[in-house]
């Protein structure tokens, strides 16, 4: 394949792809017999984007689910309408937030969906809310139980299930496995050629689904998979086993010793850790435990959503990479303005402060909990504006090039130097329909014209 007249690092070049790699870059390359050619017309040719934090199976399920939160659904009547219109025997809703209709339990959900089982996932991903029909289907009032099933003083399930994804999946029995092909296509459309699945409870059966999708080409992206300490090594050579994911939850923080032991254990297995920390207490605990357990170059802090100056310094001292979600400022910023203390608002999803402190910074969509389109994150890292137009943490703005670089690190070193369009590099590429000087003014996936993964065209707009 020959890509003609592409903008490569600011210069107009022809680029030849062969054997999965960039085989030649020159001002002018002659087309070989039988070689496919595309005229880039001066559009920027970039390394394919890597999404360093995504949940693929949840994203696949979400694509077939009912939207239950902003911006699609913003109040109770819109939620009722959207649930009423949905098909299916067991409704699955995603993206719920209390700003829509307050905290939900079985009673309030029965008011919305009385006639069939329904489960709604909270936007945080940490909570499922079930109506009475769903509770009945799962047997929660008839003996079925797990830590995380909330009960009222009489022992009746309230319908609120905390961090029980894998348990729910098992209880719901063999359903149709989520189709990853639409996910692969969606990501390719955004120029994404590599992803790290950051799901904590990925088990052997979930891994098998991911492996099958990579093997069949349904998921054309490069893939690294986190999961727990016990996750088996992927059999497929195209899939890397990544960090041990450790989820910290403000409501039930583990003891310091236990967290240190988990980190030491992961390192002994030759794996770094990726610690989910959103709140201040979680970040303090994670940073202190990393310092105590001793560093591993692969260690990461996921989100690090709220980081006042003293915590930025604490994190910098650990050497861990921070994987951030600046698009949450756009998607959730107006809620933050209501819910987060004013003094903390400038410390949300920081950009410049991390970089200036010497922290390696990378980006991840956290889809389906955030938009799977990394260009939204790039734009939000530059603009830091909420949907309603307020600005959050103006000093944290990044230049478009730096924001894009959040998605250009290799999967194995997300905060490392950006990959480049260079001779011999893997032909994981994203071609824009315009030069970078124009694309940088309004970063958007709408400008992605074509995507190659290992030299194979996986999206052609």
Binding site for Zn ion (CB under 5 A): 198, 366
Minimum distance of Zn ion from residue 168's CB (angstroms): 17
- Distance between CA atoms of residues 297 and 413, nearest Å: 9
User: Are 403 and 384 in contact, with CB atoms under 8 Å apart?
Assistant: no
- Distance between CA atoms of residues 383 and 97, nearest Å: 24
379: left (phi over 0), alpha (psi -120 to 50) or beta: alpha
The CA-atom distances, in angstroms, between 335 and each of 329, 338, 339, 387 are: 9, 5, 6, 10
Minimum distance of Zn ion from residue 103's CB (angstroms): 22
- Distance between CA atoms of residues 241 and 266, nearest Å: 12
190 versus 198: smaller Cβ distance to Zn ion: 198
- Distance between CA atoms of residues 434 and 104, nearest Å: 46
Minimum distance of Zn ion from residue 55's CB (angstroms): 6
Minimum distance of Zn ion from residue 242's CB (angstroms): 13
131 versus 325: smaller Cβ distance to Zn ion: 325
Minimum distance of Zn ion from residue 171's CB (angstroms): 22
State the CB neighbour count (10 A cutoff) for residue 391. Answer: 12
The CA-atom distances, in angstroms, between 55 and each of 188, 271, 341 are: 16, 19, 29
Minimum distance of Zn ion from residue 53's CB (angstroms): 6
94 versus 138: smaller Cβ distance to Zn ion: 94
Q: What are phi and psi of 270, to 5 degrees?
A: 80, 20
Minimum distance of Zn ion from residue 301's CB (angstroms): 12
- Rounded to the nearest angstrom, the gap between the alpha carbon of residue 351 and the centroid of all alpha carbons in its chain is 17
Query: Which position's Cβ is nearest Zn ion?
Result: 366
242 versus 458: smaller Cβ distance to Zn ion: 242
Q: What are phi and psi of 373, to 5 degrees?
A: -90, 105
| Among 48, 56, 51, CA closest to 414 | 51
| Among 226, 217, 232, CA closest to 196 | 226
State the CB neighbour count (10 A cutoff) for residue 443. Answer: 23
Minimum distance of Zn ion from residue 198's CB (angstroms): 5
Q: Could you tell me the two tokens for 147?
A: 């830590």
199 versus 445: smaller Cβ distance to Zn ion: 199
123 versus 267: smaller Cβ distance to Zn ion: 123
């Amino acid at each position: 394949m020959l890509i003609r007249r592409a903008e490569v690092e600011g210069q107009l070049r022809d680029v030849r792809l062969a054997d999965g790699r960039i085989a030649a870059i020159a001002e002018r390359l002659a087309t070989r017999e039988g070689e496919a050619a595309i005229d880039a017309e001066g559009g920027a040719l970039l390394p394919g984007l890597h999404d360093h934090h995504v949940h693929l199976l949840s994203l696949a399920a979400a694509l077939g689910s009912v939207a239950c939160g902003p911006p699609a659904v913003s109040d109770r009547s819109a939620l009722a309408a959207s649930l009423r219109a949905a098909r299916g025997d067991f409704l699955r809703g995603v993206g719920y937030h209390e700003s829509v209709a307050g905290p939900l339990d079985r009673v309030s959900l029965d008011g919305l969906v009385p006639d069939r089982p329904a489960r709604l996932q909270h936007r945080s991903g940490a909570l499922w809310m079930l109506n009475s029909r769903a509770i009945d289907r799962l047997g929660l009032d008839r003996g079925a139980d797990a830590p995380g099933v909330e009960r009222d003083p009489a022992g009746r399930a309230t319908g609120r299930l905390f961090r029980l994804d894998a348990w729910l999946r098992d209880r719901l029995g063999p359903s149709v496995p989520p189709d990853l092909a639409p996910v692969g296509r969606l990501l390719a459309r955004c120029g994404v050629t590599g992803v790290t699945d950051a799901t904590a409870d990925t088990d052997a059966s979930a891994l098998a689904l991911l492996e099958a999708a990579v093997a069949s080409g349904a998921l054309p992206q490069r893939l690294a998979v986190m999961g727990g300490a016990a996750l088996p090594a992927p059999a497929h050579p195209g899939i890397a086993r990544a960090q041990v994911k450790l989820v910290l939850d403000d409501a039930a923080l583990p003891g310091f010793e236990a967290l240190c032991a988990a980190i030491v254990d992961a390192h002994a297995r030759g794996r770094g850790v990726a610690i989910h920390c959103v709140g201040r207490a979680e970040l303090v605990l994670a940073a202190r435990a990393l310092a105590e357990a001793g560093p591993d170059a692969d260690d990461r802090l996921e989100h690090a959503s709220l980081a006042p100056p003293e915590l930025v310094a604490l994190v910098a001292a650990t050497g861990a990479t921070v994987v951030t979600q600046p698009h949450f400022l756009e998607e959730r910023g107006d809620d933050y303005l209501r819910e987060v203390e004013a003094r903390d608002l400038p410390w949300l999803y920081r950009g410049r402060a991390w970089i200036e402190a010497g922290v390696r910074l990378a980006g991840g969509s956290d889809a389906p909990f955030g938009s799977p389109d990394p260009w939204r994150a790039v734009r939000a890292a530059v603009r830091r504006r909420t949907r309603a137009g307020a600005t959050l943490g103006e000093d944290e703005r990044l230049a478009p090039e730096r924001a894009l670089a959040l998605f250009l690190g290799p999967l194995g070193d997300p905060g490392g130097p950006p990959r480049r369009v260079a001779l011999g590099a893997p032909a994981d590429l994203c071609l824009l329909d315009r030069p970078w000087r124009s694309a940088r003014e309004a970063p958007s996936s709408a400008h992605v014209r074509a995507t190659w993964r290992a030299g194979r065209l996986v999206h052609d707009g």
